[in-house]
């Protein structure tokens, strides 16, 4: 689930950037799939305060740096500890 959360955040950011620069881009699912392939995703739970670079190869959409803050929370049903990922854009730190 961790890679999905980070990839979703990255995809949403890229869609927002694309919508501002080229509105017709967002409606084209083929282009969206191609763009999604350029996004860096993690395959593991990152250490606290890990810096990640989200790269976009689409025109003038910039590369973005984000910080991932990892905290542990316990699941009341199973008693197990699960990592919770907070993705924080650099410009909101």
Q: What are the tens digits of pLDDT across the range 12-39? A: 555 555 555 555 544 444 444 444 444 3
What local confidence, expressed as pLDDT, does residue 41 receive? Answer: 41
Tell me the β-bridge partners of 54.
64
The pLDDT tens digits of the residues spanning 47-64 come to 555 555 555 545 555 555
Residue 23, by phi and psi: left (phi above 0), alpha (psi -120 to 50) or beta? alpha
Residue found under tokens 């650099």? 90
Mean pLDDT across 75-82: 51
Q: What pTM value is reported for the model? A: 0.26
């Amino acid at each position: 689930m961790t890679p999905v959360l980070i990839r979703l955040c990255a995809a949403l950011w890229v869609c927002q950037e694309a919508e501002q620069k080229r509105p017709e881009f967002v409606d084209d699912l083929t282009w969206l799939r191609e763009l999604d392939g350029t996004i860096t995703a993690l395959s593991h739970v990152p250490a606290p305060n890990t810096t990640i670079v989200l790269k976009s190869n689409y025109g003038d959409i910039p590369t973005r740096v984000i910080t991932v803050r990892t905290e542990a929370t316990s699941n009341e049903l199973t008693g197990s500890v699960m990592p919770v990922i907070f993705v924080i854009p650099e410009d909101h730190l």
